[in-house]
């Protein structure tokens, strides 16, 4: 039995994608200096973030900036690029992991900030780092069904608090090597925002057709990466193993319906050198076709895929085949093909 859920879209195009890059740079060298006492006490080598994760720096917001304001900024630019007036939008999906409170949704703040009409349905989708791809799939299905004409999928992330809390906690007495490594991934996180506008392909021949893709779950691994604003706690070895098994099984069974062995670009979730190298080895993807943003932006959660796509978009040519690939804690994976 095929473990993948397959989706095909008949008349949906990606009209635009835009990002907001957080302005403040926090280098891994700065974090190394803050953690020097605990690194020395635990006899851990310097430059772990650079050598193991490949993260040289990450971005953070200025004190007067918020992740939701940054998302609104990305959304306004995406709408302008697509030539779509806010009054035409029928759906807003926010996929941010970051949230200031449990309710109301983050989507209502962004809906108001974008000036969307009261008829535009709006809500949050939370599925860890996979949320943006899931949001695009759901929006595309509603466009195909004729329920809406245009949709905005949006995400804003703020890693500042978790970064500060993690560094403070790791500096306390009693922290051992196991504790340190379980929180290591928190130090790779970065802040940023992105937005995409989707609409009917037949009305927008200039758009980029969304063809469809697959999803697959391995929820037996639901406890391997658990995060909150206090910190993200990860069994890195087991998470990498389970994640690669999930991706490979989805990739292998997708061959029945899709041919993704020679895409023009692979826009993957941006995690680290370790994860990227394992993914390339497992799938046989051409490294030159996999653009990376985590070395300078860190892991920006669900925003990492659209941020990377927005950065790569100027280099894409008409007719290029692009595959979005994500894995989210839990575990879930999704792959989506776009014909540029």
Catalytically annotated residues = 103, 129
Half-sphere exposure (Cβ direction) of 108: Cα atoms closer than 13 Å: 6
Cα angle 19-20-26, degrees, rounded to a multiple of 5 = 125
Look up tokens 């992330």; give the residue: 157
Q: What 8-state DSSP symbol labels residue 127?
A: B
Two structure tokens written together for 293: 């943003």
Asked if 85 contacts 197 with a C-beta cutoff of 8 angstroms, the reply is no
Asked if 317 contacts 206 with a C-beta cutoff of 8 angstroms, the reply is no
Two structure tokens written together for 112: 């108001």
**Separation in Å, CA 239 to CA 75, 190, 221, 274:** 33, 20, 8, 12
DSSP 153-172: EEEEE--HHHHHHHHHHHTS
Asked if 55 contacts 97 with a C-beta cutoff of 8 angstroms, the reply is no
* Burial profile 178-189: b = 16 or more Cβ within 10 angstroms, e = fewer: eebbbbbbbbbb
Give residues with Cβ within 8 angstroms of 180, minimum separation 6: 38, 42, 44, 170
Angular region, 174: left φ>0, alpha ψ -120 to 50, beta rest: left
Which residues on adjacent β-strands are paired with residue 22? none
């Amino acid at each position: 039995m095929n473990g993948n859920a397959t989706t095909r879209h008949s008349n949906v195009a990606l009209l635009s994608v835009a990002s907001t890059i957080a302005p403040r740079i926090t280098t891994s060298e700065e974090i190394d200096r803050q953690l020097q006492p605990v690194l020395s006490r635990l006899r851990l080598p310097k430059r772990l973030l650079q050598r193991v994760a490949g993260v040289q720096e990450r971005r953070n917001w200025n004190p007067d900036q918020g992740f939701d304001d940054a998302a609104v900024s990305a959304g306004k630019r995406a709408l302008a690029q697509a030539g779509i007036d806010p009054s035409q939008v029928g759906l807003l999906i926010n996929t941010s992991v970051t949230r200031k409170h449990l309710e109301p949704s983050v989507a209502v703040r962004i809906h108001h900030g974008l000036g969307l009409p009261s008829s535009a349905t709006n809500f949050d989708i939370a599925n860890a780092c996979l949320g943006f791809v899931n949001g695009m799939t759901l929006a595309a299905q509603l466009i195909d069904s004729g329920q809406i004409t245009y949709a905005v999928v949006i995400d804003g992330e703020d890693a500042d608090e978790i970064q500060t809390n993690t560094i403070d906690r790791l500096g306390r007495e009693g922290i051992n090597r196991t504790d340190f490594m379980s929180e290591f991934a928190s130090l790779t996180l970065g802040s940023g925002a992105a937005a995409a506008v989707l609409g009917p392909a037949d009305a927008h021949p200039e758009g980029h057709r969304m063809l469809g893709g697959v999803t697959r779950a391995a929820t037996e691994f639901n406890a391997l990466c658990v995060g909150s604003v206090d910190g993200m706690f990860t069994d890195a070895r087991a998470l990498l193993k389970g994640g690669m098994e999930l991706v490979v099984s989805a990739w292998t069974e997708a061959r029945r319906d899709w041919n993704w062995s020679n895409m023009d670009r692979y826009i993957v979730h941006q995690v680290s050198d370790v994860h990227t190298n394992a993914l390339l080895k497992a799938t046989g993807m051409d490294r030159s076709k996999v653009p990376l943003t985590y070395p300078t932006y860190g892991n920006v959660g669900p925003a990492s895929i659209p941020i990377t796509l927005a950065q790569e978009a100027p280099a894409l040519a008409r007719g290029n085949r692009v595959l979005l690939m994500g894995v989210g804690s839990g575990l879930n994976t999704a792959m989506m093909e776009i014909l540029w």
